Structure 1
């Protein structure tokens, strides 16, 4: 359980970012085995912050796996170069999936793990909930899995030119 992000509701973009931050820090510290990042474009995620990328680096060195599910990755590449480089280096432990036919309101905006979730339910106000509740984790994972079934490989670690 993240120390600085107590379970419950959050409101606002910065509160969402802090919840994501604290979940990633907890994943590194507590050695969570799996995480899923799901979002339309990851624009509001703190993935270009050095402490977050360092925590992801510590986390991924263990027996861990990351699944990313998104609609667009172009903003990640343009605005989050630290994360993009980290993703390239650890591509063997990161699966990135892309859903091209998704309404932004339908694709979950969430961090899922077997220990904790952060789920943004109101994209306009960045409101949502975080916590360890098993029922919420199961429902969110089922939703993510349904989107994964409709997705294809995306966000390649390298782009080869001719």
Structure 2
């Protein structure tokens, strides 16, 4: 028996393997966040150049995030820019303001958008869009897949990004 088969029972509904297409990607994101809420994942990391084609503004996604969020949880976002999040995902922006105390947002404005990982990482399962233009990637709970993606994200978070996307904007 292989590791992926052994991990499958603990994550019902979350597939392991390749995916292709925008619909498959967005559905995997919805399913991943719903599972995070149900299973109580302690940490979630979202990374993308701009999140413009993510379903972050959908009511179902916000309900999953709301159910997931509570003390002791950590949520990290990484992007080149958050302009599209603000423009397209108003529900998410409101949710982000409410849960600012568990959310860390980092930005890497100088990065090539195709170099920044497009991914959802958790200690239990990952979704990695390897080719954002064609919306092709892999998902799974395999330990190797989770460790490799986390190492890549950590490099971006530690040395190639700075704080960004404040929960409030101060004006005069």
Into which bin does the TM-score normalised by the smaller protein fall? over 0.9
- Corresponding residue for residue 171 of structure 2: 161
Give per-residue Cα distances to partners, 1:43-85, cap 9 Å, x unaligned: 1111011011011011012531100000110110010000000
Alignment CA distance shift 1:105-1:88 (3 Å): same
Aligned length in residues: 162
Structure 1-normalised TM-score? 0.97
- Corresponding residue for residue 75 of structure 1: 84
C-alpha displacement of 1:2: 4.7
The answer as to 2:126 corresponding to 1:117 is: yes
* Aligned mates of 1:25, 1:106 — CA distance in 2: 28
Q: Over alpha carbons, which structure has the higher Rg?
A: 2
The answer as to 2:26 corresponding to 1:26 is: no
C-alpha displacement of 1:100: 1.4
- Corresponding residue for residue 151 of structure 1: 161
Give per-residue Cα distances to partners, 1:77-104, cap 9 Å, x unaligned: 0100000000001000000000112111
- Corresponding residue for residue 74 of structure 2: 65
* Aligned mates of 2:137, 2:102 — CA distance in 1: 28
Give per-residue Cα distances to partners, 1:9-42, cap 9 Å, x unaligned: 1100111111111110000000000010000000
Q: Which runs of 5+ in 1 are unaligned?
A: none
* Aligned mates of 2:101, 2:14 — CA distance in 1: 30
- Corresponding residue for residue 6 of structure 2: none
Report SS of the residue matched to 1:26.
Answer: helix
The answer as to 2:47 corresponding to 1:38 is: yes
Query: Does 59-68 or 70-79 show the bigger shift?
Result: 59-68
Report SS of the residue matched to 1:45.
Answer: coil
- Dislocated runs of 4+, deviation >2 Å: 1-5
Q: Which runs of 5+ in 2 are unaligned?
A: 1-9
Instruction: Give the aligned CA root-mean-square deviation in angstroms.
Output: 1.0
C-alpha displacement of 1:156: 0.5
Give per-residue Cα distances to partners, 1:89-132, cap 9 Å, x unaligned: 10000000001121111100000000000000011110001110
Structure 2-normalised TM-score? 0.91
Alignment CA distance shift 1:70-1:127 (3 Å): same
* Aligned mates of 2:12, 2:89 — CA distance in 1: 25
Report SS of the residue matched to 2:86.
Answer: helix
